[in-house]
Amino acid sequence: MKIIVSIVSFIFIGFHSIAQTDSLNDKQIKDKVLQEIQQSLDKRTMSVDSIVERLDQRLDALDKSIAATKGANEKADKFFLRVQALEDKQKAIEQNEVNIYEANFQSAIVNLVSMDREIKPLILFNTTKTFFDQLDAAGNPLNYDGYRDWFTGFNKYVKDNKNNETLELSSNLLTFAGGTTQTVPIVGPISGVLFASMSTYLSSISKKNKELREESKEMITLTMKISQFDYDKQENEHEWKVITDELNNLQGLYQTILTKNLSLLNVNTTEFCEQFTNESDADKRYKYLTVLRQKACNYVLQQKDSNPKDWKEYIYYPMMDVQSVKNRFGKTTFDINENIIRYDDLFNKYKNDSQIGGQITNLQGKLNDLRNTFDKAFDPLDYISSTAKMYKII
């Protein structure tokens, strides 16, 4: 059973060891602990390599000596020494394997618990209504200057002329859809009847009433533009719903994996929340991560002692669970980033329009705020790449 990938990829490139952690953010604290895990593994690996190299030299010397020895007793003694050297070498190799499992499991635990502080800001970001409220407002004609008053007049005309089948149908559908109060149904099957009624309304206006005719042309044009805008943004809104659903599923999965792994370390979830999740002091969070790191190391040794034949399975599968949930989290952040780009393309299509361009320009400002918030917290490609390289190969 192979354990994939290297801890070093999860370490912040160019990160320098810092004695004080008060000024470090969550990523830097995590990277500092991971760096310490890697440094410890490097030292132990060098020690094992030195032992193996020395034993290899001893084995070579014994092989030559055995080949040159004639006496049976003396040769038997040297064969015994050779067997001892081989056993010592095997012990060193097995110890190196344990060292790597310890480091990999420590890395898994540190990355897992650190996600508790990474996921929450993302969910908070996803549920922030500022951008989406303004996006909905831009897709509602009633929020544009003069439209509400004009639509009130149009709606009165529709109600007063129910002898016309189209207008009667439009009146009923407007009542059904809640039109004229909060929003206008400009997308979907109802919109076709609405536009037909607007056309009828325009035709009914006397050419002498130029002001109302021009206003009606302008408002009908505005309605159709916003309808097209709403239609175009539906795909993006669907993607946001998919992302929201995935985030909710991911949060549930994460909590399950977190609880399970904390249980393996005999860590109470209430204690974990108090000492890490809700702890504002960076230095205390760093110290708590080092405690969890040691508990992870102890767990590996306990499993090796109590389950000498299949101890690796008790380490391997929790590690794969952590890598899987981190990979899904990384993909979700990538999808969010892609959706932000799609909104940018959508806004560029409408921002220069004389009627709705102002609303779209304001939306672009909110989108930029959203993008800046996201970019400061997440680098999806880096996250996905580093997740694929979490563990050292054995």
Over the stretch 184-224, which tens digit does the pLDDT of each residue have?
888 878 888 899 999 999 999 998 999 999 999 999 999 99
Say if residue 5's pLDDT is above 50.
no
Residues 129-188: tens digit of each pLDDT: 678 888 888 989 999 999 999 999 998 999 999 899 889 888 888 877 665 567 788 887
Number of H helices, E strands in the chain: 12, 0
Q: Could you read off the pLDDT of 7-53 as tens digits, one per residue? A: 333 333 333 333 344 457 888 899 999 999 999 999 999 999 999 99
Cβ-contact 104, 315 below 8 angstroms = yes
List the alpha helices (DSSP H) in 205-310. Answer: 210-264, 269-272, 282-306
Q: Structure tokens of 197?
A: 């009624």
State the pLDDT confidence band at 332, using cuts at 50, 70 and 90.
confident
Axis crossing angle, helix 282-306 with helix 311-350, rounded to the nearest 10:
140
Please report the pLDDT score of residue 392 as a whole number: 86
* Percentage of the chain modeled with pLDDT above 90: 60
Whether the per-residue pLDDT at 4 is higher than 60: the answer is no
Q: What is the rounded distance in angstroms from the CA atom of residue 275 to the CA atom of residue 285? A: 7
Average pLDDT over residues 60-73: 92
At 23 the pLDDT is 59
Domains in the chain: boundaries: 7-135+233-387, 138-228
